[in-house]
């Protein structure tokens, strides 16, 4: 099968690799080089870097304008595969390939349409997260799906779930293309009454507060990332929490105990134990070693 692949972040790479191993990937479309780390140097997307290693042709496009559409048409794909490309796709793209355009979405649609389905699943306390292979449609993530698979969320953080679901999405995409090719794909329209939305996380909603439960705070920590970190103020000093869990010990809401290598924060319901932190202006460290320098009566609050 001749394929045009569209994707950008690390989540897309397993799908690209799986398709390149079985099919003719005629063109890879990805977002342009950008500042992606802490430095100021431009870096290629994860998909561009891997595509070049595989010897595939790459087109960089910040949006699907006439130039990009012409390149996709010239590749004469049987199907277009989209995995976290990063911009709205025009309707003209949907009719370019005979088998259409399919997308790997990181949720069990119709739950969590949008940009942050994995993080929203963690915040909501979903027992399972998953992937859907769906047709690209005019409305965002609204197309029918032909394959779904899921994993247990448990205590995994967003990074761990993203890695796991990226591999699951790749295997489901390969299987879905086989059913497209032999005409056995069964499409399921999404139940509009069950749709939930997954907008990008904001910095404000990821702030930790003693007015919330320990379970809710722990979920925020597991869903957080560099663009929306889980932060709090401990005795007036800013602190990013990288790992934490709900603990059984009782601590008054807003109070902090640091003893025997453990740092416990009282919440409105339950207690939050810090495991790994990043004090403002400093590097990452275990909470136990960081707490060795704490003195006096301690308290915490929302930043």
Q: Please give the share of the chain, as a percent, with pLDDT higher than 90.
A: 90
**Structural domains of the chain in order of their starting residue, each with its CATH number:** 2-198 (3.40.50.170), 214-302 (3.10.25.10)
Span 159-177, average pLDDT: 98
Q: pLDDT band at 116, cuts 50/70/90?
A: very high
110 marked as part of a ligand binding site:
yes
Phi, psi of 217, rounded to the nearest 5 degrees: -65, -45
Summarize pLDDT for 138-167 with one digit per residue, the tens: 999 999 999 999 999 999 999 999 999 999
How high is the pLDDT of residue 35? 82
How high is the pLDDT of residue 87? 84
Q: pLDDT band at 292, cuts 50/70/90?
A: confident
Q: pLDDT band at 41, cuts 50/70/90?
A: confident
How high is the pLDDT of residue 145? 98
User: Contact 46/38 with Cβ under 8 angstroms?
Assistant: no
Q: Which of 15-24, 63-72, 265-274, 287-296 has the lowest mean pLDDT?
A: 287-296
Neighbours of 145 (CB within 10 A): 23
How high is the pLDDT of residue 37? 65
How high is the pLDDT of residue 61? 95
What is the value of pTM for the model shown? Answer: 0.93
15 marked as part of a ligand binding site:
no
Give the CA-trace dihedral at 30, 35, 37, 40, to 10 degrees: 160
Q: pLDDT band at 38, cuts 50/70/90?
A: low
Span 57-74, average pLDDT: 96
Element (H, E) at 45: none
How high is the pLDDT of residue 294? 80
Neighbours of 269 (CB within 10 A): 14
How high is the pLDDT of residue 39? 66
Neighbours of 214 (CB within 10 A): 25
How high is the pLDDT of residue 285? 93
pLDDT(290) > 70? yes
Neighbours of 65 (CB within 10 A): 10
94 marked as part of a ligand binding site:
no
Could you tell me the CA-to-CA distances from 182 to 103, 175, 186 in Å, in that order?
Answer: 19, 11, 11
Can you tell me the distance from the alpha carbon of 8 to that of 85, in angstroms, rounded to the nearest whole number? Answer: 5
Q: pLDDT band at 115, cuts 50/70/90?
A: very high
How high is the pLDDT of residue 261? 85
User: Contact 87/12 with Cβ under 8 angstroms?
Assistant: no
Q: pLDDT band at 260, cuts 50/70/90?
A: confident
Span 181-210, average pLDDT: 97
Can you tell me the distance from the alpha carbon of 114 to that of 197, in angstroms, rounded to the nearest whole number? Answer: 6
Average pLDDT, the chain: 95
14 marked as part of a ligand binding site:
no
Q: pLDDT band at 122, cuts 50/70/90?
A: very high
Can you tell me the distance from the alpha carbon of 71 to that of 67, in angstroms, rounded to the nearest whole number? Answer: 6
Span 94-121, average pLDDT: 97
pLDDT(293) > 80? no
β-pairing, 58-60 vs 24-30, is parallel
How high is the pLDDT of residue 291? 84
Q: pLDDT band at 219, cuts 50/70/90?
A: very high
3-state per-residue secondary structure call for 161-211: HHHHHHHHHHHHHHHHHHHHHHCCCCCECCCHHHCCECCCCCCHHHCCCCC
Can you tell me the distance from the alpha carbon of 49 to that of 43, in angstroms, rounded to the nearest whole number? Answer: 9
């Amino acid at each position: 099968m001749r394929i045009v692949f569209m994707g950008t972040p690390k989540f897309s790479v397993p799908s690209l690799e799986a398709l390149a191993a079985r099919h003719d990937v005629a063109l890879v479309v990805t977002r342009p080089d950008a500042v992606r780390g802490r430095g100021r140097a431009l870096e290629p997307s994860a998909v561009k870097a891997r595509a070049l290693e595989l010897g595939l042709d790459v087109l960089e496009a910040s949006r699907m304008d006439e130039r990009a559409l012409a390149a996709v048409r010239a590749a004469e794909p049987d199907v277009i595969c989209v995995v976290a490309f990063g911009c709205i796709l025009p309707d003209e793209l949907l009719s370019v390939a005979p088998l259409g355009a399919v997308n790997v979405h990181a949720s069990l649609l119709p739950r969590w349409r949008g940009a942050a389905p994995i993080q929203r699943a963690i915040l909501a306390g979903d027992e399972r997260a998953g992937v859907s292979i769906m047709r690209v449609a005019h409305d965002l993530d609204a197309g029918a799906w032909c394959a779904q698979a899921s994993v247990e969320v448990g205590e995994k953080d967003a990074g761990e779930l993203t890695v796991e679901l990226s591999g699951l999405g790749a295997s489901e995409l390969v299987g879905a293309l086989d059913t497209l090719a032999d005409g056995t794909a069964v499409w399921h329209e999404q139940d509009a009454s069950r749709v939930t939305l997954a907008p990008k996380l904001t910095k404000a909603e990821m702030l930790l507060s003693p007015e919330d439960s320990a379970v809710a705070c722990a979920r925020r920590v597991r869903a957080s990332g560099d663009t929306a970190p889980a932060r709090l103020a401990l005795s007036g000093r800013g602190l990013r929490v990288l790992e934490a869990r709900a603990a059984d010990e009782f601590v008054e809401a807003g109070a902090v105990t640091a003893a025997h290598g453990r740092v416990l924060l009282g919440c409105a319901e339950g207690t939050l134990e810090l495991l790994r932190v990043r004090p403002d202006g400093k590097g990452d460290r275990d909470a136990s070693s960081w707490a060795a320098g704490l003195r006096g009566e301690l308290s915490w609050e929302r930043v």
